[in-house]
Amino acid sequence: MSTNAVATRRSRRFDRGEIRRLVAMYGFVAALHIVGFGLFAYYNARYHDLADSQGTLLYAGAAGLAYTLGMRHAFDADHI
């Protein structure tokens, strides 16, 4: 391996500040997912009596659709 290739590999590594920011960003996104799924579970448990007596997931279809459409929208070319 040439010295230029080694220097290029070293320049691609993240420093500690960048790693901290990446961990914070991904942690925040994970926290938003946890809060969202938690709210879904809360409202499903609170209002499941309206669906039927079997305790099915009342809003599971709407929640799944909203989640997948939101993820598709997040990765649109104008958002990246």
pLDDT digits 0-9 by tens, 52-65:
556 566 677 888 89
Question: What b/e readout covers 40-73, taking b as 16+ CB neighbours within 10 angstroms?
Answer: beeebeeebeeeeeeeeebeeeebeeeeeeeeee
| Burial of 36: CB neighbours in 10 Å, binned 0-12, 13-18, 19+ | middle
- The answer to whether the predicted template modeling score (pTM) of the entire model surpasses 0.85 is no
Euclidean distance between CA atoms 64 and 13, whole angstroms: 37
Please, which pLDDT band fits residue 23 given cuts at 50, 70 and 90?
Answer: very high
Where are the alpha helices (H) located in 48-59, listed in sequence order? none
More confident call, 64 vs 27 = 27
The answer to whether residue 75 scores a pLDDT higher than 90 is no
